[in-house]
Amino acid sequence: MSLDPSQSGNSDGVSERVVLVTGTLAEPAVRRVAEQVSRQCGVRCDVHVLNIQVAALMTGQWMMGKLRLDEDDTPDRVIVPGYCRGEFGLLAKTLGVQIERGPNDVRDLPLIFEGGRVTDDAEYGQHDIEIIAEINDAARLPVQQIIDQAQKLSADGADVIDVGCDPHADRSAWSSIGGVVKELCARGHRVSVDSFHPVEVGIACAAGAELVLSVNASNCETASDWGAEVVVIPDDPRDPRYLVNLEHTVGRLHKDGVKFRIDPVIEPIGFGFSASLARYLEVRQKFPDAAMLMGIANITELTGADSAGINALLIGFCQEIKIRSVLTTEVINWAQSSVREISVARRMMHFAVTNRILPKDIKEALVMLRDKRLHSHDKDEFAGLAAKLTDKNIRIYADVMRCKLHAMSMKHHVTGDDPFLVFDELEINDPSHAFYLGYEMAKAMTAITLGKNYIQDEALDWGFLTRDEVGHYERRSRKSK
């Protein structure tokens, strides 16, 4: 949307005229935001207050006889609160103006008028990085457990299921691997095998495995027998001559007609991480057209930090230098959603790199621990809200900036940083109501602790991990039917 006043058809020099509809309780907050939008975005925002406390209870049908606009100064559009239910087509036709829902929280309203590229899901959803998800120590697992893990990984976004074997080659081959690979292939999975045991690899490839992790000078001579693509790794990544040795292995595979992709091997932080990133750049320069792979689990599994940000950063690196496949695992608990994280990150980074824009303000599914922007509250705002209440329903608010809970109704306005003490002052005798308020206070305290926005009766925003909640009033209305 262009916000250049010179392009506007309005005679007063603003880009457009907007009417914001609200109820009496939210009126002060809406007026503050309206002033902000008018000042910062060149939009004239008028506020129309209807005679109802809770704006979320308004519907298009309810507003039919109550919302009236100035016929001599018709706005370009009317924005109603995001929580409003029902359809607004008839109301829009009656008033002769476009009507749309705004955000659930009025403080997000300026985002509607900010410039920037608007993306649709089809454009955003493109990606060119393949996810290979490893099932670790597969030989020790029952076949059904392997199948179940594969189904979950595939549903989360994995393109290839990697059957992880014992890394040592001086042992007996896992003779049952062929049956496992056949079972996975029969269920529509693409399969790779992670093993240096030549017999084991041969059995897996004969059963349908399409990719072998990994080969180097020690086993590349047998790669032509497998009829599968292979992942080439250096003989010794830390050897200064690793690139020369890698060339020899690649040359042998070229000669034998074996398809391959190269993995220079990323190493854990403190054990050569920065040098290993440099290897990927060196290999890309040496082999500009070669397919490449990165085993990013060496970082996510071995770094005591939430994996989402790490995955996003590494996928961004891969996108920039055209590494088109990554290998990941979900062994340690803090990395248990890695496949889903990578599935989101590969779309975000593809969009950002392709369009040469920063990977922010596109989609926010990976912003999980904290919210993208925190809604601040004026110091006196809560007292003003409490003074307007005319019913006994208790509202819960979280003043995250000051680390305080607020619980208020027409009879109470209790504030504090201990939810047990706050609850004690509310004089609640109904067990079901007590449970509900306890649940909401727990959510509010979580928001205060982590720095997240809290809205009563709504799920906290955990990015792609958010679980939908049925609101308290909606539950009660369902029960009464």
pLDDT digits (tens, 9 = 90+) for 98-127: 898 888 777 777 777 765 443 455 567 899
Q: How far apart are CA 429 and CA 435, in angstroms?
A: 11
Q: What is the pLDDT of residue 151?
A: 97
Q: Cβ distance 59 to 84 under 8 Å?
A: yes
Amino acid at 451: G
Q: How far apart are CA 130 and CA 21, in angstroms?
A: 47
Give the contacts of 216 (CB within 8 A, at least 6 positions apart).
232, 233, 234, 235, 245, 249
> Where is 272: in which H helix or E strand?
none
Question: Strand 98-101 to strand 211-215: parallel, antiparallel, or no bridges (unpaired)?
Answer: unpaired
Q: CATH class for domain 5-113?
A: alpha beta
Bridge-partner residues for 263, per DSSP?
A: none
Q: How far apart are CA 119 and CA 453, in angstroms?
A: 25
Burial degree of 211 (CB within 10 A; 0-12, 13-18, 19+): buried
Write down the H helix ranges in 271-327: 273-286, 297-300, 307-320
Which of these CATH numbers, 2.40.110.10, 3.20.20.20, 1.10.530.10, 3.40.50.10420, describes 124-355?
A: 3.20.20.20
Q: What is the pLDDT of residue 203?
A: 96
Residues in the chain predicted with pLDDT less than 70, given as ranges, are 1-15, 114-123, 471-481
Q: How far apart are CA 394 and CA 331, in angstroms?
A: 43
> Where is 150: in which H helix or E strand?
helix 143-156
Nearest one of 315, 259, 289, 450 to 369, comparing CA atoms:
450
The residue written with tokens 């262009």 in the block is 2
Per-residue pLDDT tens over the stretch 199-250: 999 999 999 999 999 999 999 999 999 999 999 999 999 999 999 999 999 9
Q: Cβ distance 202 to 226 under 8 Å?
A: yes
Q: How far apart are CA 267 and CA 339, in angstroms?
A: 20
Q: For residue 394, give the DSSP letter.
A: P
The residue written with tokens 């049925």 in the block is 470
The residue written with tokens 């200064």 in the block is 240
Radius of gyration of the chain (CA): 29
Tally the residues of the chain: 481
Q: How far apart are CA 452 and CA 235, in angstroms?
A: 48
The residue written with tokens 């992709």 in the block is 261
Q: What is the pLDDT of residue 399?
A: 94
Q: What is the pLDDT of residue 474?
A: 62
Q: How far apart are CA 209 and CA 223, in angstroms?
A: 13
Q: How far apart are CA 175 and CA 300, in angstroms?
A: 31
Domain ranges of the chain: 5-113, 124-355, 381-471
Phi-psi sector, 133: left (phi>0), alpha (psi -120 to 50), beta: beta
> Where is 95: in which H helix or E strand?
helix 89-95
Nearest one of 447, 304, 427 to 375, comparing CA atoms:
447
Long-range contacts at 30-38 (CB < 8 A, ≥ 24 apart): 30/106, 32/378, 33/106, 33/107, 33/109, 33/110, 36/110, 37/109, 37/110, 37/113, 38/14
**Cα-based distances in Å from 341 to 186, 365, 461:** 27, 9, 16
Question: How many Cβ atoms from other residues are within 10 Å of residue 250's Cβ?
Answer: 19
What residue ranges in 336-433 does DSSP mark as E strands?
Answer: 395-399, 404-408, 413-416
Q: How far apart are CA 134 and CA 301, in angstroms?
A: 12
Q: Specify the 3-state DSSP secondary structure of 396.
A: strand
